[in-house]
């Protein structure tokens, strides 16, 4: 079964850091671009970042550029999101998601259950 499972969420103070991970199983991880999408409480979906299948290309939303870093370890089937200089407005459920077909520009067909990140003092 194809699965994604996020971990690393929690409560952090403004200005702090947190590292999210996403464990993938049931598919050839290294063949697909991977994406992070977040959803603030009661709000819509916000695209955060994408990384290519090899890890050689990345992109970020303007709201997180320079503060968040996406990475992947294809040998461990793991996707990461390093979040620094966190702000209250970064509070959200963070989903990792798998690209449908291996292209960099792609929809996401498999989503994890999400990790809750709360930034508050």
Partner 1 sequence: DIVMTQSPDSLAVSLGERATINCKSSRSVLYSSNNKNYLGWYQQKPGQPPKLLFYWASTRESGVPDRFSGSGSGTDFTLTISSLQAEDVAVYYCQQYYSTPQTFGQGTKVEIK
Half-sphere exposure of 92 (CA within 13 A, CB side): 20
What is the number of other CB atoms lying within 10 angstroms of the CB of residue 8? 16
Nearer to partner 1, 15 or 43 (CB): 43
Q: Which of 46, 74, 84, 118 binds partner 1 (CB under 8 A)?
A: 46
Partnered with residue 62 across adjacent β-strands are none
Q: Is the dihedral of CA 83, 84, 88, 90 positive or negative?
A: negative
Stretch that binds partner 1, among 14-22, 24-32, 56-64, 71-79 (CB under 8 A): 56-64
14 binds partner 1 (CB under 8 A): no
List residues near partner 1 by CB under 8 A.
35, 37, 44-47, 50, 59-62, 95, 97, 100, 105-109, 111-114
């Amino acid at each position: 079964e194809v699965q994604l499972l996020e971990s690393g969420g929690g409560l952090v103070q403004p200005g702090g850091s947190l590292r999210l991970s996403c464990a993938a199983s049931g598919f050839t991880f290294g063949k697909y671009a991977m994406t992070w999408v977040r959803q603030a409480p009661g709000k819509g979906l916000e695209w955060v970042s994408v990384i290519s299948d090899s890890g050689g290309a990345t992109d970020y939303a303007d709201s997180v550029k320079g503060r968040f870093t996406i990475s992947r370890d294809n040998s461990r089937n793991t996707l990461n999101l390093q979040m620094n200089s966190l702000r209250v407005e970064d509070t959200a459920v963070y989903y990792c998601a798998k690209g449908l077909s291996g292209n960099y520009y792609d929809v996401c067909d498999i989503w994890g259950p999400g990790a809750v990140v709360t930034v508050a003092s």
